[in-house]
């Protein structure tokens, strides 16, 4: 795997060297499926996932001995405009919940025996307000991308990429609007639960930011102007995973919007990715519409194959997750339940890596 890039031009240069699918491994997986004692297609999406894993791991049979979930956290200057139901301080509080093992993602990782890593990206210094100017300098954007690239360590079989950042659905919506067109109403949703006048404020911020920066044109320049540290890190992790032949699961609207920067630069740049689910954000559904091409029909909602385990996963999550709101939406405290959720590598739940 190449060394992490130092500037955006080096990132652009990497796009010309993306490895393609291992068709031999993919063919071996397909042949093996036809030899099994079951009707063709009986395992549904499990068969698609097996073929996808083999193709992008470059081996048959594929393995999922070392899965990892990486959560990147960052803060956004646009939060000061009231586009979220919560203040920016909640980002750091949630990071501490991840570290303590009390968040939903901790319980889900425990249920599927996946390693969890949390990466803080300069939480004390949010990006600039994207309505007023670029979110990041080129140096800071490149640094965040490189940081995300380094999160893809040797030996991983598959990586799920998630995020935490108050107001980052505003950033994600503005980025998608500038990359793919449409209207702010089509890309902007409630996020943390805003409605009415607050949702109108959020849509106005998305429209104004996209209008201000859309002339930049280049996807990586738009990322610098409209994204955030955690979005840039997800771009880096997605790119490094491709270079290292690690299949990627994209979790949620903001993660998919970040990865879409690579798609805008090269329509095949996300062929090693699947979209885990369709969130309630209207922009997410629009983003993975097959007509746009980011997620082909056979690569959407792959998380549905876990439905048979949902009752047990729900039980595990409820046992380990506890939350209490005090004094309304903008003032709450989290009740942590400390437990060794991650048996594979407990450090992933007990310390956060800092940017």
CB contact at 8 A, 217 and 141: no
Tell me the fold of 8-17+65-354: Rossmann fold (3.40.50)
Instruction: Please state the separation of Cα 122 from the chain's center in Å.
Output: 18
Which tokens sit at 133? 């100017």
Per-residue pLDDT of the chain (355 residues; tens, 9 = 90+): 445 556 899 999 999 999 999 999 988 988 887 777 677 766 667 778 888 999 999 999 999 999 999 999 999 999 999 999 999 999 999 999 999 999 989 988 888 889 999 999 999 999 999 999 999 999 999 999 999 999 999 999 999 999 999 999 999 999 999 999 999 999 999 999 999 999 999 999 999 999 999 999 799 999 999 999 999 999 999 999 999 999 999 999 999 999 999 999 999 999 999 998 888 899 999 998 887 767 654 444 444 334 334 444 444 444 555 444 333 333 322 222 222 234 344 333 334 555 5
CA atoms within 13 A on the CB side of 243: 23
CA–CA gap between residue 215 and residue 67 (Å, rounded): 39
Instruction: Indicate the burial class of 165 (C-beta count within 10 angstroms; 0-12, 13-18, 19 or more).
Output: buried
Number of H helices, E strands in the chain: 15, 8
- Give the end-to-end CA distance of the chain in Å, rounded to a whole number: 21
Maximum CA extent, the chain: 61
C-alpha distances in angstroms, 245 versus 231, 237, 313? 21, 12, 29
* Phi, psi dihedrals of residue 115, rounded to the nearest 5°: -70, 145
Is-cis flag, bond preceding 61, omega within 30?
A: yes
Give the start-to-end residue ranges of the domains of the chain.
8-17+65-354
Nearby residues of 69 by Cβ (< 8 Å), 6 or more positions away: 105, 108, 109, 114, 115, 116, 117, 159, 160, 161, 162, 251
């Amino acid at each position: 795997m190449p060394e992490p890039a130092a500037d955006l031009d080096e990132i652009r240069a990497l796009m010309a060297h993306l490895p393609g699918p291992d068709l031999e491994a993919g063919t071996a997986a397909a042949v093996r499926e036809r030899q099994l004692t079951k009707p063709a297609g009986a395992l549904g999406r499990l068969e698609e996932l097996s073929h996808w894993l083999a193709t992008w791991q470059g081996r048959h049979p594929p393995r999922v001995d070392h899965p990892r979930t990486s959560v990147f956290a960052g803060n956004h200057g646009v939060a000061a405009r009231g586009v979220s139901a919560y203040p920016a301080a909640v980002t750091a509080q949630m990071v501490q919940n991840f570290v303590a093992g009390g968040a939903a993602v901790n319980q889900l990782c425990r249920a599927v025996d996946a390693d969890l890593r949390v990466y803080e990206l300069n939480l004390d210094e949010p990006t600039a307000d994207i309505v007023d100017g670029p979110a990041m300098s080129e140096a800071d954007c490149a640094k965040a991308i490189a940081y995300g690239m380094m999160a893809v360590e040797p030996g991983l079989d598959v990586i799920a990429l998630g995020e935490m950042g108050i107001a980052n659905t505003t950033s994600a919506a503005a980025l998608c609007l500038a990359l793919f067109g449409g209207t702010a109403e089509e890309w902007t949703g409630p996020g943390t639960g805003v409605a009415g006048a607050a949702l109108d404020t959020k849509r106005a911020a998305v429209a104004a930011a996209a209008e201000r920066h859309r002339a930049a044109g280049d996807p990586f320049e738009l990322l610098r102007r409209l994204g955030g540290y955690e979005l840039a890190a997800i771009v880096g992790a997605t790119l490094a995973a491709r270079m290292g032949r690690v299949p990627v699961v994209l979790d949620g609207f903001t993660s998919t919007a970040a990865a879409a920067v690579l798609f805008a630069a090269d329509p095949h740049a996300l062929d090693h990715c699947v979209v885990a689910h369709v969130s309630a954000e209207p922009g997410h559904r629009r983003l993975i519409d097959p007509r746009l091409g980011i997620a082909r029909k056979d690569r959407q909602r792959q998380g549905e194959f876990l439905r048979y385990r949902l009752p047990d996963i729900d039980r595990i999550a409820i046992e380990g997750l506890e939350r209490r709101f005090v004094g309304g939406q903008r003032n709450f405290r989290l009740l942590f339940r400390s437990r060794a959720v991650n048996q594979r590598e407990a450090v992933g739940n007990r310390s956060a890596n800092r940017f």
